[in-house]
A and B are shown apart, each in its own frame.
Chain A
Amino acid sequence: MSSRLINWFKFSSPATFYPLAGKIARVSAVIAVLLLAIGLYMSFFVAPTDYKQGEGYRIIFIHVPAAWMSMFIYLVMAFWAGMGLVFNTRLSAMMAQALAPTGAIMTFIALWTGAFWGKPMWGAWWVWDARLTSELILFFLYIGFIALQGAISDARRADRAGAILLLVGVVNIPIIYYSVKWWNTLHQGASVSLKSGSSMSAIMLETMLIMTFAFWAYSIAVALYRVRSIILEREKDARWVSELPEIRS
């Protein structure tokens, strides 16, 4: 054990993670602003018009990164939930709790922008096909997790209940991802996949990837700022909190 370069368990303690989270959050926030500026400029002015959809397709530069984040954040939350149950670390549950609002917002953005795109392109704001319905269920899972955690006043019990909900809900993620493959859906198949590459023109793909990294940086930044608040709230009686310079002053 002593030969390891980094002792990961050191950072599972809120006291050591608190300052680290602050540093990472600040850097991520700067990266998010920069990438968003570049990505939005490319979305509106650099990426060419689509041959069939005209200008309306530009909504994918928000829609796809948000949808990816909505699924990925859920997986990360489920990972922390599992960690919390197995190792009984306090910080794991706090991480899951901190990520939940961001995940819910990403899901909401994906559903909302999808509706805006669907009306002119498909002719319908909403249809009950497998992809749209499973993404809506994901939104309810986020809302349900937030509500469940909020409803139980004992933090440890709230964490356990939330963790179990998160782990049960994780079956929904492959369903969302593969829904367009497994069943006939109105939603189109994946334009970008690890196996078959991309069926978008290069500049459109690059713009979408920059936007994706911007969403990543944004999510990391807000989740870490939020986890800092949660740490302070939950550990308010701990000695190290009362010794923090920002608390003492």
Chain B
Amino acid sequence: MKARHKRLGFLIVGLVVLGLAATLVLKALDSNLSYFFSPTEVAEHKAPENHVFRLGGLVQPGSLERGKELTVRFVVTDNAHEVKVAYTGILPDLFKEGQGVIAQGRMGPDGVFIADEVLAKHDENYMPPEVAEALEKGHQKGVADMAKGGKSL
């Protein structure tokens, strides 16, 4: 066995051990590394109840209400569970109904999440407006066809 083979062996064993250690650490930290809790996790009481956490999901279409001054109310959903959110402040540009959102705050006693910061979450889709429009039309047509009982794709 040449010296260089020995060193190569050490190197590979070292990297494997390192990889294993990293995997175990990350497994142990798993839930702490997530940036937000989903409404389902809130419903299952996995989110902290007495201190600040972040709630992430989609803004339910049709749920946005603008109240007095800058207070807005909306519902965050992950299509399984829903959480009501109240927020006073300026919303980011990408904030829209149906769009991803992350709110930081705590649960109020009445089950409304009182947010003190709202961030918009962008998805990985990039396209020109004409394409988005065409997709939306196609989607609406599909929904209409399904409602009529026609064959869906």
A residues near B (Cβ < 8 Å) are 48-53, 57, 60, 82, 85-88, 120-124, 127-130, 167-168, 170-171, 175, 182-186, 188-191, 199-201, 204
Contact = CB atoms under 8 A, between A and B. Distances in A.
Contact of A171 (B8, B19, B126): B19
B26 interface: yes
Contacts of B14: 167
Contacts of A88: 4
A200 B126 contact: yes
B35 A121 contact: no
B118 interface: yes
Size bracket of the B interface:
35 or more
* Secondary structure type dominating chain A contacts: loop
Interface of B: 4, 7-8, 11, 14-15, 18-19, 22, 26, 30, 33-38, 56, 91-95, 99, 102, 117-133
B122 A121 contact: yes
B120 A122 contact: yes
A201 B119 contact: no
A124 B94 contact: no
A188 B93 contact: no
Contact of B93 (A120, A127, A185, A186): A120
Pairs of residues from A and B, 4 with the lowest C-beta to C-beta distance, nearest first? A123-B92, A51-B132, A48-B128, A129-B35
B124 A175 contact: no
A184 B35 contact: yes
Given A121-B93, A186-B119, A186-B121, A82 B11 contact: yes
* Secondary structure type dominating chain B contacts: mixed
28 contacts: A48-B129, A50-B129, A51-B127, A51-B129, A51-B133, A53-B94, A57-B126, A85-B7, A121-B92, A121-B122, A122-B94, A122-B120, A123-B120, A167-B18, A170-B15, A171-B22, A182-B26, A185-B34, A188-B122, A188-B123, A189-B124, A191-B125, A199-B126, A200-B125, A201-B128, A201-B131, A204-B126, A204-B127
